[in-house]
Amino acid sequence: MSNVANKLSVSTISSLRVEPLGELVIKMVTAQDKVTAYAVNIYKNQVALLIENSYFEALKQQEILKVKDKAMERGLVQYELAKAAYKVGGKSKDDMLLAKSYYNSTVMARELQVKEYNSALIALKKNMNMDLSKEIHVAKVEASPDEEYDLAQGIASGLSHQLAIRKAEVQAELYDDLMVAVNASNYKSSDNQYKEVVLLQQGAKIAINQAKLQAESDIRTSHATVESMKKLVKTAAELRQDATENVEIAKVKYEVGYGFDNALLKQLNLQDMSGTIVEVIAAEENLTNIEEKEIEVVNGYNLSRLKYLNDIGILPY
């Protein structure tokens, strides 16, 4: 009885009849078994989420490395063109030196990114409990911003599957079982033991409502986040396309030596640099920045999607 009272946080009940006490103990063990069985899957799911999160981090760093590779390639091509033009007297030495400086900066940026990528791969392999020296390839996961998420269905699913709610419900059932045992042990409604169980039952119901309220709050927040990230994924793709066109236009203007203002130069206070190597470099840096931001946005969408599915009880494990 002492162990039962301790597990159920009961302070006034010191004894129950043997028969109802035995039945209560069996129900407590059964309830614990149910919660533990469900919790095992929850914890396995947490491991799966950990691996997925580290996978997306490695994927993000891999994609950023590809962007750095492309930026370095563009910088090298621009430098070679500027150097060739300088040798034949078509462009100034300043243009060649600026192009060389920009190319060197892309080489340095790439080397730093290699370090970030390798660190992310090590973290992924560690979470997967695999040989850290083993070579692995992280396959790209395309974002699916057209996927629809029904909030009402998500809330209903989450309220049925979240572990905190399951635990609260099981606790409430145990206090109902305790009340059965108290009645079977001839306690009266005027006894403190009976009144304590009533209070525990009421507290258990409040705990269930609080758990459900917290669950719904989490689901609504994660749903709003994933919907916002969907919009950002589409916007980022459009920005990348515009930035790519700006690079091509800047290159043509530089090659023909024709300059006119554009929004990017005004934003950088470089209006006088239209048609120069500076405009080309600015356009290429802008493209690189937008490509990296797009990768960040796609990664954010994938992570927010995982968070939402976890909140509504859709277990990847």
pLDDT attached to residue 82 = 86
DSSP 186-223: T--TTSHHHHHHHHHHHHHHHHHHHHHHHHHHHHHHHH
Is the residue at 136 inside a domain? yes
Cα(276)–Cα(266) distance, integer angstroms: 14
Confidence label for 264 from pLDDT (cuts 50, 70 and 90)? low
- Rounded Cα–Cα distance for residues 292 and 62 (Å): 11
> 102 with 79: CB under 8 angstroms?
yes
Q: Is the pLDDT of residue 144 over 70?
A: yes
162 neighbors 211 (Cβ within 8 angstroms): yes
Strands (E) located in 147-295: none
CA atoms within 13 A on the CB side of 149: 27
Give Cβ neighbours of residue 214 (< 8 Å, ≥ 6 apart). 164
Residue 75 lies in a domain: yes
Residue 118 scores a pLDDT above 70: yes
Could you tell me if residue 252 is inside a domain? yes
Within-domain flag for 182: yes
Q: What crossing angle do the helices spanning 192-256 and 277-311 adopt, rounded to 10°?
A: 160
Number of domains in the chain: 1
CATH number of the CATH domain containing 149: 1.20.1600.10
Q: Report yes or no on 317 lying in a domain.
A: no
Question: Looking at the domain assignment, is residue 18 inside a domain?
Answer: no
Give the tens place of pLDDT for each residue, 38-47.
Answer: 888 878 888 8
Summarize the confidence of residues 277-282 as an average pLDDT: 81
Confidence (pLDDT) at 273:
44
Would residue 1 count as lying in a domain?
A: no
Residues 6+ away with beta carbon under 8 Å from 219:
151, 154, 155, 158, 308, 311, 312
Lowest-pLDDT choice from 65-74, 144-153, 168-177, 296-305: 144-153
Least confident of 20-34, 80-94, 225-239, 297-311: 80-94
Query: What's the pLDDT score for residue 269?
Result: 52
Q: What is the pLDDT of residue 267?
A: 60
CB contact set of 196 (below 8 Å; sequence gap of 6+): 10, 11, 12, 13
- Give CA–CA dist 19/307, Å, rounded: 47
DSSP 77: H
Dihedral sign for Cα atoms in the order 257, 260, 262, 264? positive
Does the structure show a pLDDT above 80 at 310? Answer: yes
Range of the domain at 156: 28-311
d(CA 176, CA 216): 26
How far apart (Å, rounded) are the C-alpha atoms in residues 7 and 28? 9
Classify residue 243: in a domain, yes or no: yes
Q: What is the mean pLDDT of residues 53-82?
A: 92
- How far apart are alpha carbons 98 and 307 in whole angstroms? 45
Confidence of residue 62 (pLDDT cuts 50, 70, 90): very high
Q: Which of 236, 60, 238, 67 is nearest to 141 (CA)?
A: 60
Compute the distance between CA of residue 279 and CA of residue 53 in angstroms, rounded to an integer.
38
